[in-house]
Chain A
Amino acid sequence: MMTYLIRRLAYAVPILLGVNLLTFSLFFMVNTPDDMARMHLGIKHVTQPAIEAWKVQHDYAQPLFYNAREPGWRALRDTLFFNQSVRMFALDFGESDDGRNIGEALRSRAGPSLSIALPTFVLGLWVNIGLALMLVWARASWLDRFGIIATVVLMSVSSLFYIIAGQYWVAHLWRLVPISGFVPGADSWHFVLLPIVVSVMAGVGNGTRWYRSIFLEEIGKDYVRTARAKGLNESRVLFRHVLQNGLIPILTGAVAVLPLLFMGSLLTESFFGIPGLGSYVIDAIQAQDFAVVRAMVFIGSVLYLIGLWLTDLAYTWADPRVRFS
Chain B
Amino acid sequence: MMLLTGCTQRVWNDPYPNSERVSNILYLSFLERPKHLDPAQAYSADAYALTAQILEPPLQYHYLKRPYTLIPQTLTAMPTLTYLDAAGKSLPVTVNPDLVAESVYELHVRPGIYYQPHPAFARDETGQPYYLPWRTTDRSQIHRWQDFKHFGTRELTADDYVYEIKRLASPQVNSPIFGLMSGYIVGFKAYEAMLAHVANKAGPNDYLDLRRYDLPGAQVLDRYTYRIRLHGKYPQFLYWLAMPFFAPVPPEVDAFYHQTGMAKRNFSLDWHPVGTGPYQLTLMDPNWRMVLERNPNFHGERYPSEGEPGDAAAGLLHDAGKPLPFVDKVVFSLEKEVIPNWNKFLQGYYDFSAISSDTFAQAITPDAQGQPHPSPALQAHGITLETPTMPAVGYVGFNMLDSVVGGYSARARALRQAISIAVNYEEFISIFMNGRGIAAQGPIPPGIEGYRAGVLGMNPVIYHQVNGHIERRSLADAQHLLAVAGYPDGRDARTGAPLVLYYDNTYTGPEAKAYVDWMAKQLAKLKIQMISRSSDFNRFQDKIRRGNTQLFVAGWDADYPDPENFLFLFYGPNSKVSSGGENDANYRNPQYDVLFNQMKYLDNGPEREKLIAQMLAILQQDAPWLFGYFPRQYVLSQAWVSPWKPNMIANNTLKYVQIDPGLRARRRVAWNQPVWWPLGILGGGVLALVASVGYTRRKRERSLAR
Contact = CB atoms under 8 A, between A and B. Distances in A.
Interface of A: 31, 34-36, 38-50, 53-54, 56-57, 59, 95, 98-101, 103-105, 108-109, 134, 137-138, 141-143, 167-183, 187, 190-191, 234, 270-273, 275, 279-280, 283, 288
Contacts of B593: none
Q: Which of A108, A273, A275 has the most CB of B within 10 A?
A: A273
B285 A275 contact: yes
B306 interface: no
Contacts of B271: 100
Given A98-B35, A99-B270, A138-B697, A176 B538 contact: no
A190 B12 contact: yes
Listed residue (B340, B678, B693) with the most chain A CB atoms within 10 angstroms of its CB:
B340
B13 A57 contact: no
B13 A100 contact: no
A180 B340 contact: yes
A169 B675 CA distance: 10
B337 interface: yes
B336 A53 contact: no
Contacts of B339: 167-168, 172, 179
Contacts of A177: 12-13
Nearest to A58: B204
A189 B43 CA distance: 38
Interface residues of B, number: 68
Contacts, number: 173
B678 to A, nearest CB: 6
A174 B264 contact: no
Nearest to B508: A286
A47 B335 contact: no
A21 to B, nearest CB: 25
A43 B704 CA distance: 77
A172 to B, nearest CB: 5
B333 A181 contact: yes
A172 B33 CA distance: 26
A101 B270 CA distance: 12
A178 B339 CA distance: 12
Nearest to B673: A175
Contacts of B692: 143
A272 B585 CA distance: 41
Contacts of A105: 287
Interface string B652-679: 0000000000000000000011111011
In the A-B complex, the 8 residue pairs with the closest CB atoms: A180-B340, A275-B287, A174-B675, A178-B15, A38-B538, A275-B288, A181-B15, A179-B340
B178 A50 contact: yes
Nearest to B176: A45
B288 A101 contact: no
Given A38-B542, A134-B693, A275-B287, A176 B679 contact: yes
B537 interface: yes
Interface in B20-62: 33, 35-36, 43-44
Contacts of B16: 183
A140 to B, nearest CB: 10
Residue from A44, A171, A187 whose CB has the most chain B CB atoms within 10 Å? A44
Given A41-B174, A45-B176, A273-B340, A180 B13 contact: no
Given A38-B541, A190-B13, A273-B336, A179 B263 contact: no
B179 A143 contact: no
Contacts of A270: 336-337
Contacts of A141: 696, 699-700
B14 interface: yes
Most buried by A among B343, B538, B559: B538
B236 interface: no
5 contacts: A57-B204, A100-B271, A173-B675, A187-B18, A273-B337
B177 interface: yes
A176 B675 CA distance: 7
B112 interface: no
A277 to B, nearest CB: 10
B174 A50 contact: yes
Nearest to B554: A43
A35 B13 contact: no
Given A45-B180, A50-B178, A176-B13, A271 B337 contact: yes
B538 A174 contact: no
Given A38-B538, A38-B541, A190-B12, 18 more contacts: A41-B174, A43-B43, A43-B44, A44-B559, A53-B171, A99-B263, A103-B264, A104-B266, A171-B13, A171-B343, A174-B676, A176-B12, A178-B15, A179-B344, A181-B335, A181-B340, A190-B14, A190-B15
B643 interface: no
A49 to B, nearest CB: 8
A211 B336 CA distance: 37
Interface in B256-300: 263-266, 268, 270-271, 285, 287-288
B700 A234 contact: yes
Given A104-B264, A179-B339, A273-B336, A46 B541 contact: yes
A169 B672 CA distance: 14
Contact of A175 (B18, B336, B347, B582): B347
Contacts of B673: 175
A281 to B, nearest CB: 12
B176 A42 contact: yes
Given A46-B176, A179-B339, A275-B334, A35 B14 contact: no
Nearest to B14: A178
B693 A176 contact: no
A112 to B, nearest CB: 8
A114 B333 CA distance: 21
A49 B169 CA distance: 12
A49 B174 CA distance: 9
B18 to A, nearest CB: 7
B674 A273 contact: no
A52 to B, nearest CB: 9
Contact of A44 (B43, B340, B536, B678): B43
A224 to B, nearest CB: 15
B124 interface: no
B377 to A, nearest CB: 15
Interface in B285-328: 285, 287-288
Interface in B183-241: 204-205
Contacts of A179: 13, 339-340, 343-344, 347
Contacts of A174: 674-676, 678
B179 A101 contact: no
Given A100-B266, A101-B264, A183-B16, A169 B678 contact: yes
B434 interface: no
A182 B288 contact: yes
Interface in B528-572: 536-539, 541-542, 559
A108 B287 CA distance: 10
Contact of A187 (B17, B35, B176, B287): B17
A167 B340 contact: yes
Contacts of A103: 264
Nearest to A139: B700
Nearest to B47: A42
A174 to B, nearest CB: 4
B384 interface: no
B539 A35 contact: yes
A171 B334 CA distance: 18
A18 B559 CA distance: 48
B488 interface: no
B12 A137 contact: no
**Counting chain B CB atoms within 10 Å of each CB, which of A43, A101, A142 scores highest?**
A43
B183 to A, nearest CB: 11
A39 B538 CA distance: 5
Nearest to A185: B17
A66 B337 CA distance: 43
Contacts of B334: 273, 275
A83 to B, nearest CB: 14
